[in-house]
Amino acid sequence: MKTIDELLSEGVAGKRVFVRADLNVPLDGTTITDDGRIRAVLPTVKALAEAGARVVVASHLGRPKGAPDPAFSLAPAAARLGELLGAQVRFAEDTVGTSAESTVAGLADGQVAVLENLRFNAGETSKDDAERAAFADRLAGLADVYVGDGFGAVHRKHASVFDLPRRLPHYAGYLIATEVGVLKKLTEDVERPYVVALGGAKVSDKLAVIDQLLDKADRLLIGGGMAYTFLKAKGYEVGISLLQEDQIPAVTEYLERAEKNGVELVLPVDVLVSPEFPDLKTKAPANPTTVAADAIPADQEGLDIGPETRKLYASKLADAATVFWNGPMGVFEHPDYAEGTKAVAQALVDTQGFTVVGGGDSAAAVRTLGFDEKAFGHISTGGGASLEYLEGKTLPGLAALED
């Protein structure tokens, strides 16, 4: 795929450059609680603006139903982008309507505009090729060149990700180029030992990637809500913990395959339990109890890995040459259940190997728990995209940039 450096060498002064970014930031009302994804696209936007391009930034936020919804407006993200750039960023109150047209037409060389949420138009996410194409045609009318830099959306066959780059000269931005380079390090000529730590709520979200990793990784460390389906598959009582009973046959097969392939599949040896889920708003003390992983009371819920598991996982990560981590070890949003996730993050910081934090909740946890982002080899902006790449899937947004 062509990169933004090639575009810059060709000259962009006076050209309208459409940047498909990922500004899908978490919001508390209109307050951004984590601006990591906005900061990730800064190098691309800055380079284009400084080269004299008229930069049109577009993104989705959340999952509106194909119509405007103030709760999902990109206005806060546009304001934050302006703060980080140290320059005015114009905001269009629609995606392809009169506001977008006049905002883009009014840009001078080196200026930046942000369009309203792409998903306010049903054509963005439509499964109907013609409806998607019609929306892409209208977006194409706002630009001369396309730069894909929204890695968190490249696994979606959406108009701005898949159809639009086919209508314009297209290039990969700095973020996508970096993300793809990192993922190649995790799939081609991997330095070993290669250790993967997987957490998060549902084992079903990770089945396909586990299937691939059983042929590639040396060790798999399992935590988070998904661990309880593994523990149940081993015949343990898991109480009222998160459990996907329909996935037990698949998990049982993976346990057998790991043993056959010589892959260490490591499960929690102790967990923190409580009879009720913690209050994440007030952060009121939860007073959890630590129990062995095979002794979870029938009326209790596992909410984090325990102290012995933290030590175990840290030891399994210590000698790693390559680490991929996706998914928290527990309910890290509450201080009483943050220690497991914190322990894994610290183990990544301490290892001498190449470490990748696989986006989503893991990336948010790193920042929420106060870690220096520079202490990790790479923090991905796209958890779902990273997982699908590791599964060996063709990602529509990358395929479109490669054409």
Q: Which residues are annotated as a binding site for ATP?
A: 206, 302, 333, 359-362
Instruction: Provide the pairing of β-strand 270-274 with 289-292.
Output: antiparallel
Instruction: Report the side by side order of strands in the sheet with 112-114.
Output: 89-91, 112-114, 54-58, 16-20, 145-148, 170-172
Structure tokens at 263: 């892959």
| Helix (H) and strand (E) counts in the chain | 14, 17
Residue ranges of the binding site for substrate? 22-24, 37, 60-63, 119, 156
Give the active site residue among 37, 132, 310, 316. Answer: 37
Pairing of strands 112-114, 354-357: unpaired
- Told to judge if 202 belongs to the known catalytic residues of this protein, a careful annotator would answer yes
Angle, alpha carbons 143-146-147 (nearest 5°):
135
Catalytic, 367? Answer no
- Through-space distance between the first and last CA atoms of the chain, rounded to whole angstroms: 7
Q: Determine the distance from the C-alpha atom of residue 313 to the mean position of all C-alpha atoms in its chain, rounded to a whole number.
A: 23
Q: Choose the catalytic residue: 199, 224, 384, 397.
A: 384
37: annotated active-site residue: yes
Active-site residue, 152 included: no
Structure-token pair, residue 164: 């639009």
Catalytic residue among 39, 46, 138, 202: 202
Q: State the catalytic residue, choosing from 327, 330, 360, 397.
A: 360
* The CA-based dihedral angle spanning residues 128, 131, 132, 136, taken in that order and rounded to the nearest 10 degrees: 160
As annotated, the binding site for (2R)-3-phosphoglycerate includes: 37, 119, 156
For 323, half-sphere exposure in the C-beta direction (CA atoms, 13 angstrom radius) is 30
Please identify every residue annotated as catalytic.
37, 202, 360, 384
